[in-house]
Each structure stands twice: as structure tokens, then as C-alpha cells.
């Protein structure tokens, strides 16, 4: 199955709505500032050697992240330079069986663990989020997300996920995507779309509504967040009839954030804290969460 992907880099506001006032968001960013950026504008590769043991926030993440960065061979390419306005992609039946990815399983899993460590630390540091429902979990085990297009079964395996623990089931609300050096733009976008469709399938409830899907991913030395909105008509049509190059999917990407730079770190944590707050606000277009909230309200009113 093929589809045409329109991908563009947009401001954070165009990817994730802000659900708290500006001062609260700035407080989040300050709370999420690790030791290294309280003293330096750049997190050098050996910064972990000077990192005090009692300053635990993000310490483990930077240990892995700097090792990952050191092993990169390619020069940095910005998301806006890498992406093209329109790209035709072919969806893999199983995204982990793509030849270029089969030989990089350990690298992809490592990237997924780093992303989960990062967003989990953000979630727990903003401790008031833990008091909100649904509770979020960060599973260690990888899992498949199956979906059906035109009567044919496909499956995607994200490199990690953020799971919302609902009353009757648990569903993925953010998936993690990895990156392979030398990977083509078409393969990169096909993997993103495949993971998004798997996440979408896990969130659809009894009512058919427009659904948004979020991914946090790695591209080269940078981290990004991507979003798409699947309309109800599109979901019904693709599920039953399949898709072709005439099927258009629009993906919005934040720019890539270089986490070794203090200013980029601040913007990355702005995006991640905003995303978590949005997902737990009750305003996100995720059917499973909305249905769960409606059920809780109904029980409270009876």
C-alpha cells in the first residue's frame, strides 16, 4: 500500500496546543533544567565525569546520549533540510522487517530506551501530572501494534511507547521512533506512518472521530516530536478500501532539538512537558482517553 506524505517542520504551537498559562510552562522548563545546564551552555561529551552523584535528574540519560552522539558518523542534517514537501511512501507489512532496519535492532532499541528514559523523567519530575488520570506507564518490553488496511493486516513495532492506563485497558498515546544512518527520506517517513497507524488502531473506540497521533523520535543527533490528524472519513475509507498515492497524510514535525545545547534542551523540554499536559488535559483527540473520561463522569453522576 502506498500513500503520499506531506511533511513540514512547524513551530511547537503548530504541533502541540498549550493548555496551561505561559508562566506555568516556563516554570516547567526551569524544573526540567539538569545540572549541566545550570553551569554550562553546552553539554560536552565528558560532562558526566563532573556530574555530581546527588544531581540525579537526567544524569543517566546524558550518560547514554553522549555515548550515542559519539558513535554517529554522519554530519548533522536539519529536519527542514531532510524533509520534502511531498513524498510517496510504501507501507511495510512489518516495519521491523525492512532490510535496512533488521541489521540495526540493537541501535534502534537503544534509541527507544533513551527516548523513554527522557520522557519518563519529564513526567515524574512534573509530579502533579502523576495525580491526574489516566496514569501513564513506560513499558520496557517491546510490543506490536497491528492494523488493517483494505482487508490486509499490517503491524508496526515502535522502539518504545508511553501507555495510558485506562479503566478497562491500556493504550499507547505516544510512540517512539528510531533512525538509521543513511536511511532514505521515503523509508524514514514510511516507518513513522506505520507506527502512527499502529498507534491509531490501538486507540479507536466504538465512536468514529477524528484522531490525532503523536510520536517522539530521533533523527541523527536530534530529537523531534511529530503529529498527524486522521479524519474519521479517512480512517473508515483506508480501513475498508486501502490506500494509494492519492491518499494524502499530513505530518507536522517540530524542528530537531540538539540536546547537547542548553537553548535546544529548553525548547525540547517545553515540547515534551506541553505534550504530556495536553494528553492528560482531556482536550486531546484520542478516542480511547475521551471514552474513558466519559465513562468516569457517567459513573460519578449516577
Check pLDDT > 80 for residue 300.
no
Residue 296: the pLDDT is: 66
pLDDT on residue 283: 87
Q: What is the 3-state secondary structure (H, E, C) of 30-70?
A: HHCCCHHHHCCCECCCCHHHHCCCCCCCCHHHHHHHHHHHH
Is the backbone of residue 177 left (phi > 0), alpha (psi -120 to 50) or beta? beta
Helix (H) or strand (E) holding 181: none
What mean pLDDT comes out for the span 109-135?
90
Q: 3-state class of 157 per DSSP?
A: coil
**Buried (b) or exposed (e) across 216-243, using 16+ Cβ within 10 A?**
bbbbbbbbbbbbbebeeebbeebbeebb
Helices (H), the chain: 22-31, 47-50, 59-70, 79-82, 99-102, 105-125, 185-203, 232-241, 262-279, 287-300
Asked if the model's pLDDT at residue 75 lies above 70, the reply is no
With residue 76 as reference, give the H or E element that holds it: none
Residue 19: which pLDDT band, with cuts at 50, 70 and 90? very high
What confidence score (pLDDT) does residue 40 get? 96
Cα distance between residue 5 and residue 122, in whole Å: 30
Q: Mean per-residue pLDDT for 39-56?
A: 93
Give the C-alpha separation, 259 to 52, whole Å. Answer: 19
Q: 37 pLDDT exceeds 90?
A: yes
Report pLDDT digits (tens) over 158-170.
Answer: 999 999 998 888 9
pLDDT at 110 exceeding the cut of 80: yes
Q: What is the mean pLDDT of residues 39-54?
A: 93
Which run of H or of E encompasses 167?
none
- Give the 3-state secondary structure of residue 21: coil
Which residues make beta-bridge pairs with 261? Answer: 42
- 229-283: pLDDT as tens digits: 999 899 888 888 777 778 899 999 999 999 999 999 999 999 999 999 999 988 8
Instruction: Return the domain boundaries, the chain.
Output: 2-300
Determine the pLDDT at residue 203.
86
pTM: 0.94
Whether 74 shows a pLDDT value over 70: the answer reads: no
Amino acid at each position: 500500500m502506498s500513500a503520499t506524505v506531506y511533511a513540514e517542520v512547524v513551530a511547537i504551537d503548530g504541533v502541540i496546543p498549550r493548555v496551561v498559562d505561559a508562566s506555568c510552562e516556563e516554570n516547567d522548563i526551569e524544573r526540567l533544567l539538569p545540572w549541566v545546564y545550570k553551569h554550562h551552555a553546552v553539554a560536552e561529551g565528558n560532562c558526566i565525569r563532573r556530574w555530581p552523584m546527588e544531581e540525579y535528574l537526567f544524569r543517566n540519560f546524558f550518560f547514554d546520549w553522549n555515548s550515542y552522539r559519539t558513535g554517529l558518523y554522519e554530519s548533522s542534517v536539519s529536519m527542514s533540510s531532510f524533509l520534502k514537501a511531498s513524498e510517496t511512501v510504501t507501507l511495510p507489512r512489518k516495519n521491523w522487517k525492512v532490510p535496512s532496519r533488521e541489521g540495526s535492532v540493537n541501535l534502534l532499541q537503544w534509541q527507544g530506551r533513551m527516548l523513554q528514559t527522557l520522557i519518563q523523567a519529564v513526567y515524574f519530575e512534573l509530579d502533579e501530572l502523576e495525580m491526574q488520570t489516566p496514569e501513564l506507564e513506560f513499558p520496557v518490553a517491546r510490543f506490536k501494534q497491528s492494523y488493517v488496511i483494505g482487508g490486509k493486516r499490517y503491524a508496526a513495532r515502535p522502539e518504545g511507547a508511553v501507555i495510558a492506563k485506562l479503566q478497562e485497558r491500556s493504550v499507547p498515546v505516544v510512540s517512539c521512533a528510531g533512525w538509521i544512518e543513511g536511511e532514505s527520506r521515503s523509508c524514514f517517513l514510511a516507518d513513522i506512518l506505520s507506527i502512527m497507524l499502529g498507534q491509531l488502531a490501538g486507540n479507536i473506540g466504538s465512536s468514529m472521530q477524528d484522531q490525532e497521533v503523536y510520536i517522539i523520535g530521533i533523527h541523527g543527533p536530534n530529537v523531534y516530536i511529530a503529529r498527524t490528524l486522521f479524519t474519521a472519513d479517512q480512517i473508515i475509507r483506508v480501513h475498508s478500501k486501502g490506500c494509494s498515492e492519492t491518499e494524502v497524510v499530513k505530518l507536522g514535525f517540530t524542528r530537531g532539538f540538539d540536546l547537547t545545547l542548553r537553548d535546544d534542551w529548553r525548547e525540547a523540554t517545553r515540547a515534551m512537558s506541553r505534550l504530556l499536559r495536553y494528553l492528560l488535559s482531556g482536550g486531546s483527540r484520542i478516542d480511547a482517553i475521551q471514552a474513558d473520561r466519559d465513562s468516569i463522569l457517567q459513573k460519578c453522576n449516577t
